[in-house]
Structure 1
Amino acid sequence: MPSSGRLVRAKSNEREKSSLLPIPFQELIIFFSVQPNPIFLENFMVGYSAAVIRRQQFLIRCLGGGYNSGNKNLHYSSLRMQSLMGGGGFTLESDVISILRSITPSLDPSRHKGQAGKIAVVGGCREYTGAPYFSAISALKIGADLSHVFCTKDAAPVIKSYSPELIVHPILEESYNVRDEHKRSTSAKVIAEVDKWMERFDCLVVGPGLGRDPFLLDCVSEIIKHARQSNVPIVVDGDGLFLVTNCLDLKVLNCEVNYQDGTQQLLSLAKGLGGVTILRKGESDYISNGEEVSAVNMFGSPRRCGGQGDILSGSVAVFLSWARHNAKGGWSASPTILGCIAGSAILRKAASLAFENKRRSTLTSDIIECLGESLEELCPVS
């Protein structure tokens, strides 16, 4: 699970600067996490990190946004997802089941390969090969038809060895492998290769196992721009958060903020970033697109093994693509909100099932194996 600091921390090293601009895109999802630090707030035990809240506030200020600590009239989702400041309950299991059943496509014999979702993960380098695999295979386990991984040439053989189910493209390059005089032409080749596939994808996941090589990040920033031009929704997680942060050219500001305004700050942050959807991972998952705040805290596991965030990114990508094409039931929330709620709930349910069997030895691979069972339990195949 990525450090929450990645959303707002940028190193001053010029080699790590990227040309990507802030993304005012309605179907961009940014993930960041908080570590539980229980405090008592309006009769609820909730988890917050002071450092995370400070960084959020600084990001809001840099974007020209702000919040009024006296304003508690948030626009709550019609799904009865309550924010902390509302003083109400969290998501009911019946709401999650209704959402899942309204966006999950039926298994119709007349459908052809690809109609249940084509997901692409951009990530995977010499150091990190597990994260892109976890994200891509989770998409397949939930029900996507095809899952691609665009990674570096060094990472490709390893990722391919994990599973023959994935379509792996060894096209990304890192600085050590490209001469300075060849960087422009190499970058153009990388972008052209990804562009050949772009319009086929229903959602793009950027960041799992991406690493922080400056040349690689520059190439990926161009891939994000091309995805936006093709109107492909983007999920940003892992080192993708570092990429976005680096582009905003932010520094950490040490200041104290009011814990009780954390949810309002999340709302302002999403709005300040142009209406992107933010899923804030933690003891409870909070979701906002700048207009509403939703929360999911059902199920879950006390086992905090690494890689669960990668499962979440792949899961959200699938449910987001389904929500854009299959949403029924008259939900007023956007497809990105519905996709985040569904992805969060399925991961928590799968983690709960895996923990029941494996207890302390639960690993990410155990949770992945429970994804199908979890979806079937909440949304049986008709």
Structure 2
Amino acid sequence: MCDVDISQMEAQLLKESRMLVPPMENILYKGKAGRIGVVGGSLEYTGAPYFSAISALKVGCDLSHVFCPLNAAPVIKSYSPELIVHPILDAEDALELIKPWLPRLHILIIGPGLGREPGILKTVSSLIQFCRYLPGYGKPLVIDADGLFMVTENPEVIRNYPSGVILTPNAIEFSRLAKAVLDKQWDPTPNPNPEHVKSLAVALGTKTVVVHKGASDVISTGSDGDAVVKCTAGGSGRRCGGQGDILSGALGTFYCWAAAEAARDRHEGVSGIPPQVVAAYAACRLTRECNQRAVAKKGRSALATDMLEEIHTVFAALFEN
């Protein structure tokens, strides 16, 4: 991709992103446009799973579930009546309680506000292993935040994951993952090296996508070929909490739509980039534009809640023209 003009490639990726968006038609039923599950939340971090789950809804999925510990559930429920909240993540039989919901969900987003309590991380690791071997259907994953910490501690939990997994590390998280997976000591940088991003994706498996968030977001797949793309448009110098959670939620919905396209045998678009990479680009572009518009209005006071208010306007401008 190094020989392709970035602006030209981004224009093509934006065009292909629009192809992922399902039409709003009266013949659709609830759930057809996506059912997303967010696995996360803790006593300290209740905002993160909310931002992820509500962003998935605002981008266009139909139903958004949050699987969280008991003590986080009342707070998350209080943020919005739109979310379906399951206070079971810290139960002794958490995995058994979650299993019946899995056939209803298209995508799992793992990590927002998850925390690092060993018992919870063990449950989530077991959940991923269960999803890996589900018969008859796959369960694509988006992994962010403390989900990435879990992967850093045990990369095998997602290596060669068969249904597809997208990781969304920031600079520090990427550096830790590189050390754990590749034994490479790459210093954190806001300007990701595309070759480094590609190397990590390849090491984790052909159906892995890595989204290195930074001054420009760099996206690579572990599959053969030179599928490394950048998202340079939008964004700002404002780095408030919650932005990554908004990205993960948006990505969950776009990934759901991309998986539906792949199931219809649209394996590659005109650019030759796989649908899951197009989905990652779409989510990055949307989030960066929401950030830019929120900061234009609020400056240093811009918060993740201000970015949520921009989702409809940005989505319409980018994907419905």
Distance in 2 between the 1:359 and 1:302 partners?
A: 10
Task: Indicate how the Cα distance of structure 1 residues 254 and 90 shifts in structure 2: closer, same or farther if over 3 A, else same.
Answer: same
Picking from 79, 82, 105, the partner of 1:165 is: 82
Structure 2, unmatched stretches of 5+, are 157-176
After superposition, the Cα gap between the structure-2 partners of 1:352 and 1:221, relative to the gap in structure 1 and judged at 3 Å, is: same
Q: Structure 1 residues 218 and 367 mapped into 2: Cα distance closer, same or farther (>3 Å)?
A: same
* Aligned-residue offset at 1:261: 9.9
Match of 2:142 in 1: 235
Judge conservation of contact 1:105–1:326 (CA < 8 Å) in 2. Answer: no
Shift of 1:128: 0.6
How far residue 204 of structure 1 moved from its aligned partner, in angstroms, is 0.4
Q: Is the 8 A contact 2:116 2:146 kept in 1?
A: yes
Say yes or no: does 1:340 pair with 2:280.
yes
Q: Distance in 1 between matches of 2:277 and 2:290?
A: 20
Kindly provide the amino acid, as one letter, of the partner of residue 317 in structure 1: G
Give 1:229 shift.
2.4
5+ residue gaps, structure 1: 1-75, 77-81, 175-185
Partner of 2:88: helix, strand, or coil?
Answer: strand
Query: Contact 1:286 / 1:294 at 8 angstroms: preserved in 2?
Result: yes
The structure, 1 or 2, with the larger RCO (C-alpha pairs under 8 Å, 6+ apart) is 1
Report if aligned partners of 1:117, 1:318 keep a CA contact under 8 Å in 2: yes
CA 1:358–1:256 in structure 2 vs 1: closer, same or farther (change >3 Å)?
closer
Supply the distance in 1 between the matched residues of 2:185 and 2:39 (Cα, whole angstroms): 35
Maintained 8 Å contact 2:39/2:109: yes
1:321 aligns with 2:252: no
Preserved CA contact (<8 Å) 2:192 2:216:
no
Q: 2:13·2:278 contact (CA, 8 Å) conserved in 1? A: no
8 Å Cα contact 2:35/2:105 also seen in 1: yes
Distance 2:122 2:7 in 1: 40
Structure 1 residue aligned with 2:169: none
Q: What CA distance in whole angstroms lies between the structure 2 residues aligned with 1:146 and 1:256?
A: 39
Output aligned runs, 1:1-382, within 5 Å.
76=1, 82=2, 86=3, 88-90=5-7, 94-173=11-90, 186=92, 189-230=93-134, 231-248=138-155, 262-275=193-206, 276-290=208-222, 291=224, 292-326=227-261, 330-331=269-270, 332-380=272-320
Instruction: Give how far 1:364 is off.
Output: 0.2
> TM (normalized to structure 2)?
0.82
Q: Displacement, 1:90?
A: 4.7
SS at structure 2 position matched to 1:171: coil
1:96 and 1:356, CA in 2 relative to 1: closer, same or farther beyond 3 A?
Answer: farther
Is the contact between residue 90 and residue 296 of structure 1 (CA under 8 Å) also seen in structure 2? no
What is the TM-score of this pair, normalised by structure 1?
Answer: 0.69
Q: How far apart are the structure 2 equivalents of 1:255 and 1:273?
A: 17
